[in-house]
């Protein structure tokens, strides 16, 4: 099978590696987003997919706009590929590109379609409190993740699972699913299934406002936001901004969902004396765990935080180093 691979971030790397490891599959070229300037010194950094392709000696094409780049379009056409495989590439493909490969353009999408079509499916699935997600391979069309479905695989989302953990899991399972999908399509053993439009939901690109914590929301809503958009959620801490890396919702309805190693936390919480407080205020502290905050509905433990200019630290270490803190969410709230 002759394949051109489209992909950019870490999520796409396991799928590219899986295809490269198949003796019956030949990756002719890789299309990835242009190198971007990142980090100190603003150096140009290649995408993770490009790095893998270069190590394997595969040509890499990086047009700013693939559907408008005549040179890249000519190269794609000349490949005479059986499949174009697309995994988190980051650009929409034109009808001209979609028609080029003999057996179609296959997308590996990080959701159980038709739910969570769009740019950030896993983030929104976790943030919305879903207890299950997965990967769908589909035959691409001109719509936004509207193509006919091919194969699916699912995985549960635990109460403490975050974007990184689930993303790693889906990247691996998606790689395996893609290899199976290509083989079954090549052997004419797979029948595409149209998506039910009435069941479709959307996962739009994240905006800056999505990362700001509103302590008037419920504890479970904030917890889902933090782990779904990890590690970027933040709150006002006086005149500064504090990143909230991980949290734990507290209460008997959640303790049965926590791993066994959190039993000490449950016991300590059940014996806590709580102060009264408004959303965002610290109402108790549990030794070796950290501060408990009042939310609009329920209590939330700050498990891991990152102060400005510092490395991530436990909520317990943070509160020990900042004993004057009383609340979050408003300027000067810790004064």
Domain closes at, from 199, 224, 245: 199
How far apart are alpha carbons 44 and 37 in whole angstroms?
4
Residues 105-118: pLDDT tens digits?
A: 999 999 999 999 99
> Alpha-carbon distance 104 to 78, whole Å?
15
Q: Is the predicted pLDDT of residue 313 greater than 60, yes or no?
A: yes
What's the confidence (pLDDT) of residue 326?
Answer: 86
What's the average model confidence in pLDDT over 302-324? 95
Residue 335 in domain: no
Cα–Cα nearest to 181, from 190, 193, 173, 172: 190
> Are residues 160 and 212 both part of a single domain?
no
Is residue 328 included in any domain, yes or no?
Answer: no
Gap between the Cα atoms of 287 and 5, Å rounded:
51
Cα separation, 37 vs 154, in Å, equals: 35
Is the sign of the CA dihedral 41, 44, 49, 51 positive or negative?
Answer: negative
Joined together, the tokens standing for residue 249 give 């919702």
Question: H helices within the chain, ranges in order?
Answer: 13-20, 48-55, 70-79, 95-98, 121-127, 163-186, 219-228, 252-255, 263-270, 315-321
- Binding-site annotation, residues for (6S)-5,6,7,8-tetrahydrofolate: 111-114
The rounded distance, in Å, linking the Cα atoms of 259 and 156 is: 14
Instruction: Name the packing angle between helices 13-20 and 48-55 (round to 10°).
Output: 20
Q: Is residue 45 domain-shared with residue 186, that is, in the same domain?
A: yes
- Asked whether residue 64 falls in the same domain as residue 119, the answer is yes
Q: Are residues 63 and 184 in the same domain?
A: yes
Residues tagged in the binding site annotation: 111-114
Same domain, 30 and 120: yes
Per-residue confidence (pLDDT) for residue 334, from 0 to 100: 46
Question: Can you give the CATH number for the domain in which 36 is found?
Answer: 3.40.50.170
Q: Is residue 330 part of a domain?
A: no
pLDDT at 331: 59
Q: Tell me the pLDDT tens digit for each residue of 148-193.
A: 999 999 999 999 999 999 999 999 999 999 999 999 999 999 999 9
What's the whole-number average pLDDT of the chain?
95
User: What's the whole-number mean pLDDT along residues 69-75?
Assistant: 98
Domain that holds residue 11: 2-199
**Final residue in a domain of this structure, among 199, 216, 242:** 199
Task: Please give the structure tokens belonging to residue 51.
Answer: 């790095």
pLDDT tens per residue, range 201-223: 999 999 999 999 999 999 999 99
Torsions phi, psi of 319, nearest 5? -70, -30
- Band of residue 39 on the pLDDT scale cut at 50, 70, 90: confident
Per the structure, the count of domains in the chain is 2
Average pLDDT, stretch 18-27? 98
pLDDT-based confidence at 13, cuts 50/70/90? very high
pLDDT tens column, 270-286: 999 998 999 999 999 99
329: in domain:
no
pLDDT of residue 315: 97
Q: Give me 79's structure tokens.
A: 């490949």
Name residue 61's beta-bridge partners: 31
- How far apart CA 17 and CA 175 sit, in angstroms, is 8
226: left (phi over 0), alpha (psi -120 to 50) or beta: alpha
Q: How far apart are CA 181 and CA 178, in angstroms?
A: 5
User: Within a domain: residue 331?
Assistant: no
């Amino acid at each position: 099978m002759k394949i051109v691979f489209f992909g950019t971030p870490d999520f796409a790397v396991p799928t590219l590696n899986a295809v490269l490891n198949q003796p019956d599959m030949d990756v002719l070229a890789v299309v990835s987003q242009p190198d971007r300037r990142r980090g100190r010194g603003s150096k140009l950094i290649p995408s993770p997919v490009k790095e893998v392709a270069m190590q394997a000696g595969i040509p890499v094409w990086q047009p700013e706009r693939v559907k408008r780049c005549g040179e890249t379009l000519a190269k794609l056409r000349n490949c005479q590929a059986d499949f174009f495989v697309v995994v988190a590439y980051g650009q929409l493909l034109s009808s001209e590109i979609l028609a080029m490969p003999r057996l179609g353009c296959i997308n590996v999408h990080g959701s159980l379609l038709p739910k969570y079509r769009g740019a950030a499916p896993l983030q929104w699935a976790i943030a919305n409190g879903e207890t299950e997600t997965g990967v769908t391979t589909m035959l691409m069309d001109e719509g936004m993740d509207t193509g006919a479905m091919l194969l699916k695989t699912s995985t549960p989302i635990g109460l403490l699972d975050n974007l990184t953990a689930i993303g790693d899991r889906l990247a691996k399972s998606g790689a395996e699913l893609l290899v199976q999908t290509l083989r079954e399509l090549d052997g004419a053993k797979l029948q595409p299934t149209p998506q039910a439009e009435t069941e479709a939901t959307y996962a739009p690109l994240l905006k800056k406002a999505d990362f700001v914590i509103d302590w008037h929301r419920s504890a479970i809503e904030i917890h889902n936001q933090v782990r779904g958009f990890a590690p970027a959620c933040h709150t006002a801490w006086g005149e500064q901004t504090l990143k909230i890396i991980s949290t734990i919702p507290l209460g008997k309805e959640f303790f049965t969902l926590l791993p066994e190693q959190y039993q000490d936390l449950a016991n300590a919480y059940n014996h806590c004396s709580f102060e009264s407080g408004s959303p965002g205020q610290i109402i108790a502290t549990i030794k070796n765990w950290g501060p408990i905050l009042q939310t609009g509905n329920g209590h939330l433990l700050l498990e891991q935080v990152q102060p400005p200019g510092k490395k991530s630290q436990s909520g317990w270490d943070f509160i020990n180093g900042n004993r004057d803190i009383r609340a979050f969410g408003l300027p000067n709230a810790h004064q």
